[in-house]
Amino acid sequence: MFQSEHSAGDPPLSPEFEALQRALAGRYSLVRELGRGGMGVVFLAREVALDRLVAIKLLPPLLASESAYRERFVREAQTAARLAHPHIVPIHAVEATGPLIWFAMEYVPGVSLGERVRTSGPLSRSEAIRVVQETAWALAHAHARGVIHRDVKPDNILL
């Protein structure tokens, strides 16, 4: 059996949540879903051995059944893992567990730039300058190493 931090009053668990929790049992305990995109579902999890929060990105099972998507997903994790920078989220592990493929990364609490603007309106001039400078710094670091992000948008910038 697996243990998660889900309780009876919480919304129902997604099939991906339940399948991933079974695959990760003993290593990670999933807490909740953080978000979904075209190339994955991201969950908040507790890494059991180190007692720390991490984010786990799961390639959706439909895509994971195709080798081209699996290879692209692994490449994404490997590429990001080589980019040590204060404004790039570190990758801890990438793994295939049966039909599931996922990677674990540092959990960054907070909200995306997109969410912040949707809920609170435009940033102040000084905040906007800081966000643009930090984002440009991270992108320049990646570009200097031959990496192109290809999906820079407010929802992919964490504050």
Cα dist. 94→53, 56, 91, 118 in Å? 16, 9, 8, 32
Between CA 60 and CA 12 the distance in angstroms is 18
Catalytic positions are 151
Residue type, 72: R
Q: Identify which of 100, 79, 90 has the alpha carbon closest to the alpha carbon of residue 27.
A: 100
Alpha helices in 3-112 (DSSP H): 15-24, 61-64, 67-81
Please name the residues in contact with 121: beta carbons below 8 A apart, sequence gap of 6 or more.
none
Long-range pairs, 33-42, Cβ under 8 A, ≥24:
39/63, 39/69, 39/72, 39/73, 39/76, 40/73, 41/14, 41/16
